[in-house]
C-alpha cells in the first residue's frame, strides 16, 4: 500500500493495480460458480487450509461460496479506503452484521452492548435474539459498566439512522476495553470518517447505500483486521451470505466516484438543512457535525402529507443514491422497532429522513417547499403547543 496516496486516488485505483499488467482497463467480471482442477489432492489441502485458518486461498477459489476474484477487488479497495488490513463482503448489510454477531457468538461471546438508535433492522436483529444473543441497550457513557465477561461486541452507529445522532467514536472505543467496537459507518462513509482510526476494530457498511451509490445493488461489507476477517470468511462460507460477483463489480465501480458524490451531495444537504431550520413549518432539524448527505427533520404538519406531496424527490426508503429520497422512519425504516423503543431513541412520529442526491439544490428546495405547504398546517404559523421543547 502506498501511504502517500489520497483517498480520492485510492477510490479510483485501489483493487485495480494489476489491470494494466493483464492488458485490461475495466476490471474483469468472473461469474464462475465453480473452478476446474485435475489435482484433487491439492484441492483437498487448500480446503483444509481454508477451514483451519479462513485465510484467502491462493489461486482459484474452488467454489464461489469461498471467494470470488471480482468481489475480492471490491474488498481490497474498501479496506484501503477505511484504512484496515482487510474487508469481507456479504449479500447485504444485514448479512454482514449477522456474520459479525455469529463470529463472536461462536466463541461463546453471546452478549452485545449497543447504543440506540440503530438502523431499524439492526435493532431488530439484536432485540429479537434471533441469533441466540442477548443485548443490553445503553447510552455511550454506560458502555464500560455494561460490558461483561461474555460480551462479544459493542455496536454503535454514528451518525445514526435515522436521527443522525453522533457519538465520540474514540471515547466509545476506549470505554470498550478489550471488547471489539463495531461501528456502522454507512452514513458517514470513509470520505467523512474512518472509524478504525478512532479505535473501532470492526467497520460495517450497508454497501447498498453510498458505496453502490445508484440504488441498483444490494450488498454489505465489513472492514477489519485480518484476524477477524478470517473468522468472517469462515462464517460466510458456512452460512452462504455471499455477495453476487455482479454486485461486487458494481460496488467497485461505485467506489471510484464515492468521494465526488459524497462531497457534492453534502453541499446540497447542508444548504437544505439550513433552509429547513429557518422555515416555520419545520421543528427540529438534525444535520451532523461531520456533515454528510442526510438531513432529518420534524414537521409541524402531517409528515405523511409531505411524503405524498413530493414530486421530484422520490418517496422511498434507503439512501445514498444519486437521486434524493425521503421517508418516514416511524412508518418504514424503523417500523420493526417497538414503538416505545423507537420513541425513546428520538424517532418521533413527526420525523422525516431525507437522503440528498446530486440534483440542483434550487429544484430540490422548490419540491420540498411545495410538499411542506400541502400539509395540514399549510403555511400557517405552527401552534405553539406543537413546538418541540
Ligand X SMILES: *Cc1c(COP(=O)(O)O)cnc(C)c1O
Q: Which is nearer to ligand X, 115 or 121 (CB)?
A: 121
Residue 93 as a binder of ligand X (CB under 6 A): the answer is yes
Q: Which is nearer to ligand X, 93 or 259 (CB)?
A: 93
Nearest residue to 230 via CA among 77, 85, 112: 85
From the CB of 157, what's the least distance to ligand X, in Å? 5
From the CB of 118, what's the least distance to ligand X, in Å? 7
Nearest residue to 212 via CA among 245, 184, 176, 248: 248
Residue 256 as a binder of ligand X (CB under 6 A): the answer is no
* Separation CA 123–CA 115 (nearest Å): 9
* Separation CA 276–CA 298 (nearest Å): 10
* Separation CA 141–CA 52 (nearest Å): 39
Binding region for ligand X (CB under 6 A) out of 39-47, 68-76, 88-96, 173-181: 88-96
Residue 162 as a binder of ligand X (CB under 6 A): the answer is no
CB atoms within 10 A of CB 236: 27
The site that binds ligand X (CB under 6 A) totals a number of residues, namely 15
From the CB of 17, what's the least distance to ligand X, in Å? 28
From the CB of 162, what's the least distance to ligand X, in Å? 9
Q: Which is nearer to ligand X, 93 or 213 (CB)?
A: 93
From the CB of 171, what's the least distance to ligand X, in Å? 20
Residue 327 as a binder of ligand X (CB under 6 A): the answer is no
Residue 94 as a binder of ligand X (CB under 6 A): the answer is yes
Q: Diameter of the chain by CA atoms?
A: 78
Beta bridge partners of 63: 34
Residue 133 as a binder of ligand X (CB under 6 A): the answer is no
Q: What angle do CA 190, 254, 263 make, to 5 degrees?
A: 50
Of 181-220, binders to ligand X (CB under 6 A) are 184, 186, 206, 208-209, 218, 220
From the CB of 164, what's the least distance to ligand X, in Å? 11
Residues annotated as catalytic are: 65, 119, 184, 209
Residues with Cβ within 8 Å of residue 195, at least 6 apart in sequence: 82, 158, 169, 181, 183, 185, 203
Nearest residue to 153 via CA among 80, 99, 189: 99
The residue nearest ligand X at its CB is 93
Residue 254 as a binder of ligand X (CB under 6 A): the answer is no
Residue 321 as a binder of ligand X (CB under 6 A): the answer is no
Q: Which is nearer to ligand X, 46 or 209 (CB)?
A: 209
Beta bridge partners of 72: none
Which residue of 50, 74, 119, 137 would you call a contact of ligand X, by CB under 6 A?
A: 119
Which residue of 70, 84, 98, 122 would you call a contact of ligand X, by CB under 6 A?
A: 122
Task: Give the gyration radius of the chain's Cα atoms.
Answer: 22
Q: Which is nearer to ligand X, 97 or 282 (CB)?
A: 97
| Virtual torsion, Cα 64, 69, 75, 76, nearest 10 deg | 150
Q: Which is nearer to ligand X, 175 or 355 (CB)?
A: 355
DSSP E strand stretches across the chain? 86-90, 111-114, 134-137, 151-157, 181-184, 202-206, 220-224, 282-286, 294-299, 314-315, 325-327, 351-355
From the CB of 121, what's the least distance to ligand X, in Å? 6
Per-residue cell: 371: 410538499
Of 215-244, binders to ligand X (CB under 6 A) are 218, 220
* List of residues contacting ligand X (CB under 6 A): 92-94, 119, 121-122, 157, 161, 184, 186, 206, 208-209, 218, 220
Amino acid at each position: 500500500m502506498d501511504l502517500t496516496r489520497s483517498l480520492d486516488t485510492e477510490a479510483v485505483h485501489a483493487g485495480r493495480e494489476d489491470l494494466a499488467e493483464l492488458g485490461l482497463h475495466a476490471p474483469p467480471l468472473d461469474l464462475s460458480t465453480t473452478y476446474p482442477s485435475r489435482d484433487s489432492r491439492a484441492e483437498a489441502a487448500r480446503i483444509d487450509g481454508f477451514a483451519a485458518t479462513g485465510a484467502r486461498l491462493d489461486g482459484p477459489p474452488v467454489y464461489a461460496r469461498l471467494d470470488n476474484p471480482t468481489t475480492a477487488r471490491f474488498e481490497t479497495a474498501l479496506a484501503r479506503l477505511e484504512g484496515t488490513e482487510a474487508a469481507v463482503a456479504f449479500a447485504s448489510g444485514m448479512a454482514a452484521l449477522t456474520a459479525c454477531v455469529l463470529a463472536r457468538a461462536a466463541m461463546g461471546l453471546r452478549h452485545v452492548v449497543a447504543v440506540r438508535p440503530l438502523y431499524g433492522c439492526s435493532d431488530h436483529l439484536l432485540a429479537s435474539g434471533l441469533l441466540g444473543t442477548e443485548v443490553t441497550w445503553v447510552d455511550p457513557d454506560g458502555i464500560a459498566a455494561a460490558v461483561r465477561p461474555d460480551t462479544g461486541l459493542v455496536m454503535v452507529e454514528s451518525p445514526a439512522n435515522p436521527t443522525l445522532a453522533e457519538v465520540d467514536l474514540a471515547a466509545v472505543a476506549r470505554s470498550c476495553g478489550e471488547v471489539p467496537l463495531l461501528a456502522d459507518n454507512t452514513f458517514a462513509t470513509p470520505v467523512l470518517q474512518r472509524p478504525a482510526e478512532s479505535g473501532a476494530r470492526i467497520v460495517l457498511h450497508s454497501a447498498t447505500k453510498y458505496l453502490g451509490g445508484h440504488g441498483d445493488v444490494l450488498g454489505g461489507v465489513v472492514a477489519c483486521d485480518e484476524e477477524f476477517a478470517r473468522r468472517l470468511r469462515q462464517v460466510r462460507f458456512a452460512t452462504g451470505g455471499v455477495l453476487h460477483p455482479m454486485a461486487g463489480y458494481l460496488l467497485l465501480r461505485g467506489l471510484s466516484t464515492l468521494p465526488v458524490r459524497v462531497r457534492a451531495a453534502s453541499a446540497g444537504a447542508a444548504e437544505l438543512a439550513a433552509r429547513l431550520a429557518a422555515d416555520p413549518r419545520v421543528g427540529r432539524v438534525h444535520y451532523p457535525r461531520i456533515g454528510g448527505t442526510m438531513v432529518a427533520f420534524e414537521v409541524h404538519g402531517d409528515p405523511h402529507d409531505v411524503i405524498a406531496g413530493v414530486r421530484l424527490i422520490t418517496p422511498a426508503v434507503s439512501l445514498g443514491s444519486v437521486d434524493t429520497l425521503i421517508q418516514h422512519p416511524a412508518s418504514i425504516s424503523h417500523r420493526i422497532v417497538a414503538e416505545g423503543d423507537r420513541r425513546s431513541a428520538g424517532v418521533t412520529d413527526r420525523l422525516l429522513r431525507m437522503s440528498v442526491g446530486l440534483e440542483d439544490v434550487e429544484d430540490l428546495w422548490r419540491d420540498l417547499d411545495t410538499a411542506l405547504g400541502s400539509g395540514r398546517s399549510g403555511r400557517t404559523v405552527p401552534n405553539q403547543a406543537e413546538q418541540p421543547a
